Structure 1
Amino acid sequence: MRTDRPADLQAIIDEIHATLKSRFGEGKVADYIPQLARVDPKHFGMAVVMADGRVLRCGDADVAFSIQSISKVFTLTIALGKYGENVWKRVGREPSGSAFNSIVQLEHEGGIPRNPFINAGAITISDLILSGHTPKEEIGEILRFVRHLANDDDIHVDRDVARSEAATGNRNLALAHFMRSFGRLDHPVDYVLGVYFHQCAIAMSCAQLAHAGLYLACNGRNPLSGHTVVSEQRARRINAVMLTCGHYDGSGDFAYRVGLPGKSGVGGGILAIAPGRASIAVWSPGLNSNGNSALGSLALEMLAQRTGWSVFSG
């Protein structure tokens, strides 16, 4: 069944919520970040924002959570706006096939990250967009950009999560120092990671996040504000990288089961894009073995099956 009718779509997401309700809490929260370990694993929310502005929601769709690596979509967009295709001289576009915080490939590839959505790649993007700014200024730029996309000034950085990440982010510290040893970072490691930890600590609800991602569903244009965020070609290319790299070493499985560009975060959120139709955000804190939301991935698979929204559909 292919449907864009609001009544049908609301019935579908309500059915998904009811079907999964007995399983809320499945998966393992990201306890290596102490502040995330405190989140109730039984939260579940989903929001669908259609190209015409209709918003469909269920469960905890208006509860804010830490978007974590979903922020990498927005910082990549900023970097491409500043540097264009030169971004790809600093970071690749290929799936990693390794864990999101792996150091192994950096050794073999001279400190150049495989793609902008693994941690090393996102740290490189943070270094790029930091140019000419203090860390505080760049954090402000990222936050203003996300607020603009979502048309919501209530979006904020969760300072407790940022501090928690900084206190326990030894693997990211190692990745950054390793890349700097290859001459791949232009700024001091503490400056770059200051930006990176704060962008990951942005707190948004599913409804806010789905609004923020709408430009990727609408050829780079935000149809609600009328503003062009990126060109049609750039939106298509960001979606392509999301499809192939947005779920770390689970990206192929997500493409197989869901068939939509998507970006996950260890806070349990996923932003998914149905090009030409909708932006979708789902949140369920319990993660699978690849660090992606277990029930969030399943909910999106069910949604794609019931709507026919896969990019591979005829």
Structure 2
Amino acid sequence: MSSTNSAILQCGRFRLTLARPLVMGILNVTSDSFSDGGRFVNYSTASAHAQKMIDEGADIIDIGGESTRPGASSVPLNKELTRVLFLIEKLLNIGVPISIDTYKPNMMRAALNVGVDLINDIWGFRQPGAIDAVRDTFCGLCVMHMQGTPSTMQYEPQYRNVVTNIYNFLDERIRLLEQAGIAKNRLCADPGFGFGKTTENNFMLLRELSRAVPASVPTLVGLSRKLMIGEATGRSVPQQRIAGSLAGMLAAIDRGAAIVRVHDVAPTVDALKVWQAIRGRSWCCAQSTHEAHYEK
């Protein structure tokens, strides 16, 4: 599904039009995330950063209470709950959908109870109870592909055909979610760059993005500051990978991505405005992407 169409993504309290690419701003409230660990663990700092990203043009804020970087260990549920629930409540009236990056069904339920709009699950809703946790709601769902677990995923990942394998996985998960009664307009899919993939796998996926994700749902892509960008540019420090991240992001948009998940919102929005202008489309005219829809 191309970002150039006018499809709708049902996302909790909001209906998001996909007339232009949407920008999801990353808000990690963790101490060990690969790029910004420890920067936003304080509630006031996290809230201020969320507002800054919205002022810069973010369409969605994605909160993460557990690092999923390669080699990361799982965080106990109670600790994750403590990190994110109050923050979700604090940000509910910020004017854009709030997403939670979690794979734990009990975390999903708790976040939905306080009003979160989108569940971003690196496990693709494979954990026991995950589908039941989200089935009878209006929240959006992001189904991601991951080989292995965060602690093991980069130990020699192997594929017979990375593009075909990921397409088949995402297609199967989307079908299972639909069979569970979840409307397709609540779904988007993420091929999972860096989650159990070599750099070669990642760039193959990017080149063939339109064949790696089923066209029936919007594609969400997260390339921001990742190792694949560092290895292509020779930049070992994640914060120095902004230019490379923008190049990768635009390549993804050109291949049909509808939503981009990024650390650096302002440069991303600037790049997308130029991309829109090249295509003869106005960014401002497509900016009305949020429409309050369902009450919790």
Higher helix fraction: Structure 1 or Structure 2? 1
Calculate the TM-score normalised by the size of structure 1.
0.25
Higher relative contact order (CA closer than 8 Å, sequence separation 6+): 1
| Structure with the higher fraction of residues in strand conformation | 2
TM-score between both structures, scaled by the size of structure 2: 0.26
